[in-house]
Amino acid sequence: MREFDAFIEECDRAPRLNELSEFFSTTASGEAGTPIHAPQLDHRFFPPDLTFRRFSALHPLRQGPFDKHYLSSIPYRFEEECRLGSAILKYARARKGRLDLYTLGTAEGTMARVIGELGNGRVETLSCSPNVENLRSFYAYGVPPHAMFFHGSFHHLTSQKIQDDGELRKFAGGFDIIVEDTTFQMYSPNRFDQIRFVSQHLKKNGLFMFVEKFKHDDDEEYRRRERQKDHGFKARFFSASDIHAKEDTVLTRMNRSEVSLAEMSETLSRFFEHSFVTWNSGNFYTLVSSNSPENLNLFLSKLCPTAIPAEYVYVGLPYRLYPESEARRMSGRSWTL
């Protein structure tokens, strides 16, 4: 693991674990950041899909304080989490054997534990967070079936840690799916080392999914989408003073660690031959990457239509992020690590 020593030190100094630690602690405990009312799914956009409906019915019953804050902060992120989770369940049913899922930095790990509960043994999940408050929320409804929680940051979950831990050892063979949910942007803009570190846990033909907020080439367009998010959606759940306070204490620091979609595309092409954009909400996007076109196509076939009003969507979906030939060219270059 010596090759990652500098990266691990970089993460230890990151805003997520230092100047933003109080925000994440008080939000995860419910002491601050609580929405005026719980996030509500917009049933007008529900697809006629039984798995989606079962997932969306159970998810609110398993949420902790941070999820309530998070899902009230991004337009139609709740619907997208149900869409993503139900697609993972359907993907697991279509494959042989057990599927292993790792969701990193996803607060209480609600999506992962719902997948484990509804999967009836077809999916084993692992979530992580450095906040003990999220650990407590994870076990608030009892020990979840087919779901585990690592109390620590994603960069502390090393291959050696998984191998040495008796409970984690079942994941030593790697994960079929890894989901990074607005985590990297809380640490640094170093997407290359972040993806390189986490990819050591990904199986050869696995899927790596990213939910991130991206910079825009046009600063005014970025800000316009932010105003749409704040005034058209977040105002339903938070007061104007709460929205401004979060922008001052959290978002300004987080913005420094965002990258553009073009920068992310260039980085992903070094690791994966195939990457698709599957969801968009203002400045937020969901990306799915893999070196297995068969597994990627199978997963994409299990995704329901996006459940979000058209005015929040700025791209045609889904679309390929870069040509396959570009990924092959980039992967053949020699990189200084």
The position carrying tokens 């779901």 is 147
Rounded CA separation 14/305 (Å): 36
Residue-wise pLDDT tens for the chain (337 aa)?
Answer: 578 999 999 999 999 999 999 999 999 999 999 999 999 999 999 999 999 999 999 999 999 999 999 999 999 999 999 999 999 999 999 998 999 999 998 999 999 999 999 999 999 999 999 999 999 999 998 899 999 999 999 999 999 999 999 999 999 999 999 999 999 999 999 999 999 999 999 999 999 999 999 999 999 999 999 999 999 999 999 999 988 888 776 767 778 899 999 999 999 999 999 999 999 999 999 999 999 999 999 999 999 999 999 999 999 999 999 998 666 666 554 333 2
| 146, 116 Cβ separation under 8 angstroms | yes
Give the residue numbers spanning the domain of 149: 2-331
245 contacts: CB under 8 Å, gap ≥ 6: none
Predicted TM-score (pTM) of the model is: 0.95
CB within 8 Å of 9: residues ≥ 6 apart: none
- Assigned domain for 336 exists: no
| Spatial distance between the Cα atoms of 283 and 137, rounded to a whole number of angstroms | 29
Alpha carbon 45 to its chain's center: 22
3-state secondary structure of 254: helix
- Residue showing tokens 């005014």: 220
286: closest CA among 273, 311, 304, 298?
304
The mean pLDDT value of the chain amounts to: 93
Is residue 279, in this structure, part of any structural domain at all?
yes
Q: What is the CA radius of gyration of the chain?
A: 19
Within-domain flag for 269:
yes
Is 299 part of any domain? yes
Residue for token pair 């997208």: 80
φ, ψ of residue 158 in degrees (nearest 5): -90, 165
d(CA 46, CA 98): 28
Residue 256: strand, helix, or coil? coil
Q: What is the CATH number of the domain that holds 54?
A: 3.40.50.150
The torsion angle over the Cα atoms of residues 311, 67, 28 and 12, rounded to 10 degrees, is -70
Asked whether residue 258 is assigned to any structural domain, the reply reads yes
How many folded domains does the chain comprise? 1
Q: How do strand 202-213 and strand 147-151 relate by DSSP bridges?
A: unpaired
Q: Report d(CA 25, CA 130) in Å as an integer.
A: 9
Give the full edge-to-edge strand order of the sheet including 202-213: 147-151, 123-129, 99-104, 175-181, 202-213, 284-290, 274-281, 319-320
Chain length of the chain: 337
42 domain-assigned: yes
